[in-house]
């Protein structure tokens, strides 16, 4: 049975998820207001309204299903004679409004990252401190080496190091290190390997890295670096999907994300409530950064797709016909929903077969 701590983590998870949605739509909302655009409705959730109130010209509503939200601006998806319509504003203002949601998600990711890092006594660096008594990599690497990249993936943080190892295709890796100010390349570095329950090989480091003392300066530095590592990880994962490095089985939809969140929280909860909470916050940090990065992709129905049309307008000095842009976004939305539905079916199958 789920104890009181587990129930509390579920509630906190729901609140954090709603915060991710809220902060995205609030980015659009506050930027639109500052740019003089009329906002007709600001909604958290989808479906029927549970409660609503109007303040000034804007209707604020909380809806039944906590799976999204929206900021409805005058003339956003069509023509409007209102001088404060979205389409009547300068292109650069509309660009700011479109990207503001994603930017706010990444800012939230930065804050959540800092929260997870505050309790740490020390941070992991990229400099080798010592090797395990039994190891393989010391044939190439030395104490004091600064790891710059693994298989071409830049290493700045422990997150970069873990991602590079997790996505390595074989235990025959290319390490680039800095040693005494000189950059050295080693093409055939191997590490200890174990096998998971599904037979997948998992590589492990056979050395320790130097620690960095946690103080205000290093906390800020590590928060910036590790948030950047998360953004880089998202881009690398998307590129991996396009190039075939990762399959659809490694993509999670809403159901898969819920499962991953619950597993991470439960794993931490086995140690303590604070470990469970820390795991939960970390997963939410990854999700909000994902949302920010993915929303900026130049795809129809996403903020990045809208940005592309605005860039075209800025170059042509003439907007694309609203009906043409509307059709593109409508088709993109259908494709996006079908993709989410397919991933959700896959997630459900995995839940019952894993």
Q: Tell me, what's the pLDDT at 318?
A: 87
Instruction: Provide the CB-side half-sphere exposure for 234 (13 A, CA).
Output: 20
Rounded mean pLDDT of the chain?
84
pLDDT number for residue 259: 59
288 and 105 Cβ atoms separated by less than 8 Å:
yes
Closest C-alpha to 237, from 195, 189, 287, 177: 287
Tell me which of 64-73, 213-222, 306-315, 337-346 is least confident. Answer: 337-346
Query: What region does 326 belong to: left with phi over 0, alpha with psi -120 to 50, or beta?
Result: alpha
Band (pLDDT 50/70/90 cuts) for residue 1 is: very low
Q: Hey, which bits of 56-121 come out as E strands?
A: 58-73
Task: Say which of 5, 18, 25, 197 is annotated catalytic.
Answer: 25
Question: Rounded to whole angstroms, how far apart are CA atoms 35 and 69?
Answer: 21
* Cβ proximity of 45 and 62 under 8 Å: yes
Can you give the C-alpha Rg of the chain in angstroms?
A: 23
pLDDT of residue 7: 67
**Domain 123-212, CATH class in plain words:** mainly beta
* Average pLDDT over every residue of 76-93: 86
Please answer whether residues 27 and 103 qualify as being in contact, where contact means their C-beta atoms are separated by less than 8 angstroms: yes
The count of C-alpha atoms lying within 13 angstroms of the C-alpha of 307, restricted to the half-sphere facing its C-beta, is: 16
The answer on pLDDT for 323 being more than 50 is: yes
Residue 264 is predicted with a pLDDT of 64
CB 246 within 8 A of CB 151: no
**pLDDT tens track for 15-43:** 788 888 899 999 999 999 999 999 999 99
Question: DSSP for 142-177?
Answer: -TTPEEEEETTEE-SSHHHHHHHHHT-SSS-EEEEE
Q: Which helix (H) or strand (E) holds 222?
A: helix 216-243
Query: Between 200 and 350, where is the model more confident?
Result: 200
Q: Is 25 a catalytic residue?
A: yes
Distance spanning both ends of the chain, measured CA to CA: 20
Percent of the chain with pLDDT over 90: 36
Rounded to whole angstroms, the Cα distance separating 112 from 106 reads: 10
pLDDT digits (tens, 9 = 90+) for 161-172: 888 888 887 788
CA dist 228 and 255 (Å) reads: 27
Question: What does the pLDDT read at residue 317?
Answer: 87
Q: CA–CA separation, 269 vs 275, rounded Å?
A: 6
Q: What is the pTM of this model?
A: 0.81
Q: CA 92 to CA 33: how far, in whole Å?
A: 15
pLDDT mean over 274-303: 84
Question: What are the structure tokens assigned to 39, written together?
Answer: 């906002």
Section 301-310 average pLDDT: 89
pLDDT digits (tens, 9 = 90+) for 110-152: 999 999 999 888 999 999 999 988 888 888 999 999 999 999 8
Percentage of the chain with pLDDT > 70?
85
- 149-206 confidence digits (pLDDT tens): 999 899 999 889 888 888 887 788 899 999 998 999 998 888 888 877 766 777 888 8
Q: What is the average pLDDT across 76-101? A: 88
Three-state DSSP class for residue 200? coil
Q: DSSP secondary structure string, 267-320? A: HHHTT-HHHHHHHHHHHHHHHHHHHHHHHTSS-TTSHHHHHHHHHHHHHHTSPP
Beta-strand pair 201-203/146-150: unpaired
Q: Encode pLDDT of 230-277 as tens digits.
A: 889 888 887 877 776 666 566 655 555 565 666 666 666 667 777 777
Domain boundaries, given as residue ranges, for the chain: 1-121+214-354, 123-212
Reported as a pLDDT band with limits 50, 70 and 90, residue 216 is very high
């Amino acid at each position: 049975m789920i104890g009181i701590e587990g129930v509390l983590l579920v509630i906190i998870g729901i609140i954090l998820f709603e915060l991710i949605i809220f902060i995205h739509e609030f980015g659009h909302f506050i930027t639109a207001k500052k740019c003089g655009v009329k906002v007709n409705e600001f909604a958290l959730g989808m479906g029927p309204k549970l409660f609503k109130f109007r303040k000034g010209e804007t209707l604020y509503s909380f809806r039944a299903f906590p799976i999204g939200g929206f900021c409805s601006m005058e003339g956003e998806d069509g023509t409007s004679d209102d001088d404060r319509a979205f389409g009547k504003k300068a292109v650069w203002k509309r660009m700011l409004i479109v990207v503001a949601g994603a930017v706010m998600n990444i800012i939230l990711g930065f804050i959540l990252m800092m929260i997870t890092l505050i309790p740490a006594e020390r941070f992991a660096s990229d400099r080798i401190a010592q090797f395990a008594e039994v190891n393989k990599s010391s044939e190439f690497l030395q104490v004091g080496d600064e790891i710059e990249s693994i298989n071409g993936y830049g290493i700045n943080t422990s997150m970069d190091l873990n991602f590079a190892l997790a996505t390595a295709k074989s235990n025959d890796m290319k390490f680039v290190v800095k040693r005494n100010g000189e950059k050295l390349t080693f093409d055939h570095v191997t590490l200890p390997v174990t096998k998971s329950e599904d037979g997948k090989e998992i590589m492990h480091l056979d050395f320790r890295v130097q620690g960095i003392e946690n103080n205000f300066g290093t906390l800020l530095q590590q928060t910036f670096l590790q948030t950047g590592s998360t953004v880089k990880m998202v881009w690398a994962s998307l590129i991996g999907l396009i190039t075939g490095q990762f399959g659809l089985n490694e993509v999670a939809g809403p159901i898969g994300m819920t499962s991953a969140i619950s597993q991470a929280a439960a794993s931490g909860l086995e140690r303590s409530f604070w470990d469970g909470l820390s795991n939960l916050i970390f997963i939410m940090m990854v999700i909000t950064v994902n949302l920010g990065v993915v929303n900026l992709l130049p795809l129809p129905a996403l903020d990045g797709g809208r940005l592309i049309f605005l860039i075209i307008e800025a170059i042509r000095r003439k907007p694309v016909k609203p009906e043409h842009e509307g059709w593109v976004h409508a088709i993109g939305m259908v494709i996006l929903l079908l993709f989410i539905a397919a991933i959700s079916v896959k997630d459900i199958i995995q839940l019952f077969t894993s």
